[in-house]
Amino acid sequence: MNQPPLTESEKNLLITRAEAALKKAYAPYSQFQVGAALLTDQGKIYTGCNVENASYGLTVCAERNAIAAAVAEEGGDNLTIKAIAVSNNRHVPCSPCGACRQVIAEFCTDTSLIFLSPDGYQTQTLRQLLPQEFSLSDTF
Ligand code: THU
| Residue of 19, 63, 73, 74 marked active site | 63
Q: List the residue whose alpha carbon is closest to atom 7 of ligand 1.
A: 97
Please report which residue ranges of 3-124 form alpha helices under DSSP H: 8-21, 62-74, 98-105
Q: Is 131 exposed, middle or buried (0-12, 13-18, 19+ CB in 10 A)?
A: exposed
d(CA 15, CA 13) in angstroms, rounded, equals: 5
Q: Domain extents for the chain?
A: 8-129
Inter-residue contact 112 to 83 (CB < 8 Å): yes
Active-site annotation holds for 63: yes
CATH architecture classification, 8-129: 3-Layer(aba) Sandwich (3.40)
Please state the pTM of the whole predicted model.
Answer: 0.95
Cα of 77 to ligand 1 centre, how many Å? Answer: 26
pLDDT in tens, the chain (140 residues): 567 899 999 999 999 999 999 999 999 999 999 999 999 999 999 999 999 999 999 999 999 999 999 999 999 999 999 999 999 999 999 999 999 999 999 998 899 999 999 999 999 999 999 999 999 876 66
Within 8 A by CB and 6+ apart from 25, the residues are 33, 34, 35, 49, 50, 51, 62, 89
